[in-house]
Structure 1
């Protein structure tokens, strides 16, 4: 059995998946197909389906006009090892979108992302609950997450 995440785009699917695969290691666009027949979404050629891989995980994307927009109930978490990785992905994905608290952003297509340090979960689930509280409180004050500030909160 395979499980594949599915993303529905109103338009510009190829631009979106091109950006995503350029930013995430071990990613690629596997296939893009334009449906040759008329569909409920439009005339022949108006619907595209893509298969892609993001960080080794399978995704399918569909461009078929408006239906339901993305919301926070689905997001992609990009765990980054360095601040430079956070900064690069944050800049590229937030361009034309909107930034939010705690490392969340919406890209220009409306898809929600969490751009986070790889070590964040370890810090906020630390057995030293005072340390975990300090890190969580520091994170809640941030928009783009800052590794040095989170590490400082863990030490204090």
Structure 2
């Protein structure tokens, strides 16, 4: 098996890392789960109580980008201060990823959405810089939830 990228994001889940990996590799092309190492028998150490069978170290690739993840319990959770940017070729691709990744409507703004695991995503056209050059385009974008390319082009 090939080594991971020199810099690899690590995603800390409460207890849904396996479910998240399976979901994400279904959403993105050229994706796969590389490996899953589970927590050992919880009788070996009190720190593992309730974690038997959960993901201690998961490695997966999404559209060619490597990630690692773990089930670490409720100590930490995702915030909007970190998001993953998905650059899309056209509106159809934006619509497809948005349908799969947006699960928290109150978190939607300017192409940002949050999935069912609490991870924030930016679903953007690959040419977003060209679509937000004028104040009118920026104003339209600020009012959008999901990015609609035609609205930006017509602003």
Q: Structure 1-normalised TM-score?
A: 0.83
> What is the SS of the residue equivalent to 2:154?
helix
Q: CA deviation at 1:112?
A: 0.5
Q: Structure 2-normalised TM-score?
A: 0.84
> Which residue, out of 72, 88, 112, partners 1:104?
112
Q: CA deviation at 1:123?
A: 3.0
> Which residue, out of 49, 64, 85, partners 1:42?
49
RMSD of the alignment, in Å?
A: 1.9
Q: CA deviation at 1:67?
A: 1.2
- Unpaired runs of 5+ in structure 1? 125-130
Mapping of residues 4-153 of structure 1, within 5 Å = 4-38=8-42, 40-43=47-50, 45-48=52-55, 49-95=57-103, 97-98=104-105, 99-124=107-132, 131-153=133-155
Contact 2:15–2:54, Cα closer than 8 Å, also in 1: no
Q: Distance in 1 between matches of 2:48 and 2:12?
A: 12
Q: Which runs of 4+ in 1 moved over 4 A?
A: none
Q: Distance in 1 between matches of 2:19 and 2:95?
A: 21
- Unpaired runs of 5+ in structure 2? none
Tell me: higher relative CO, structure 1 or 2? Use CA pairs within 8 A at least 6 residues apart. Answer: 2
